[in-house]
Amino acid sequence: MNSIGEECTELKKKYDDCFNSWFSERFLKGDHDDSVCAGIFKIYQECVKKAMKQQNIDFKDIDKDVLGTENEFKVPPTEGSS
């Protein structure tokens, strides 16, 4: 899969590979230390942020959290229940 910045796609692939093996070999097995991919993530992030700035994408909306907050949409009650 491509990155939003063409020049970041190689870094993204490297990071994704690192993350996927961490996720399966460590995280799902109970090891929560995520430092192993931190270095490559930082480089990849810098590339993405630069690419987004060039495309005039507003970071504010992206940084807003919804999941797990009171802004998260709630499933309406099923019909018949009060």
Partner 1 sequence: MARYFENTTVFNYSWDQVALGYWRRYPNPQSTHVLSEDTWTRYVKDGCLYTKRLLTKTNRVPKWGERFFNAKSVKIIEESFVDPEKKVLITYTRNLGYTKVMSVVERVEYRPSGASQTVALRSAWVDSQVFGFSRAIRAFGVDRFRKNASQMVNGFNYVLSNMFPRQVPQHTVTHTLKEMREAAAAATDRAKANVLSSVNRT
The nearer residue to partner 1, 2 or 82, going by C-beta atoms, is 2
H or E element, residue 62: helix 59-63
Residues 22-81 that bind partner 1 (CB under 8 A): 23-24, 27-28, 30, 32, 34, 41, 44, 48, 57, 61-62, 65-68, 72-73, 75-76
Helix axes 38-54, 9-25, angle to 10 degrees: 140
Q: How far apart are the first and last CA of the chain?
A: 46
Nearest to 59 by CA among 18, 15, 4: 4
How far apart are CB 75 and partner 1 at their closest, in Å?
5
Binding site for partner 1 (CB under 8 A): 1-4, 8, 12, 15-16, 19-20, 23-24, 27-28, 30, 32, 34, 41, 44, 48, 57, 61-62, 65-68, 72-73, 75-76
